[in-house]
Amino acid sequence: MASFLIRDGDPLPQGMPQAIEKIRCTKGGCETSYTIYSGDPVIMYGPEKNTDVMCRMAAASIEGGHSYHGTKEFYWKGPVQGWCESDTPEQRKKL
């Protein structure tokens, strides 16, 4: 099953898997947060669980989008590619 990182407050796509973690932007005073939704089984990527890698890389993606946080939705492409933007149909086709 796919994993997604969705900006909080935006409508959820139909059939989302369960929420596993809320990630907040760590930049001072920023109120933006995203939630990771995943139906993937827990597996190991080296010494880390896949969910731990998702959380770590989500925090980096969110910080990279500060101060505007324009991306609403990311799709998980694994530990090598990480979170990829998937807001538009064109972006989703590339995934």
Rounding to the nearest 10 degrees, give the CA dihedral for residues 71, 83, 88, 4: -90
Alpha-carbon distance of 30 to 93, in angstroms, equals 31
For residues 82-86, average pLDDT = 89
Counting the structural domains of the chain, the total is: 1
**pLDDT (tens digit, 9 = 90+) per residue, 21-45?**
999 998 888 889 999 999 999 999 9
Domain extent at residue 73 = 3-94
pTM of the model: 0.86
HSE-up (13 A, CA, CB side) for residue 92: 7
Residue 33 is predicted with a pLDDT of 94
Residue 95 is predicted with a pLDDT of 62
Check: CB of residue 51 under 8 Å from CB of residue 20.
Answer: yes
**Tokens at residue 66, please?**
């500060």
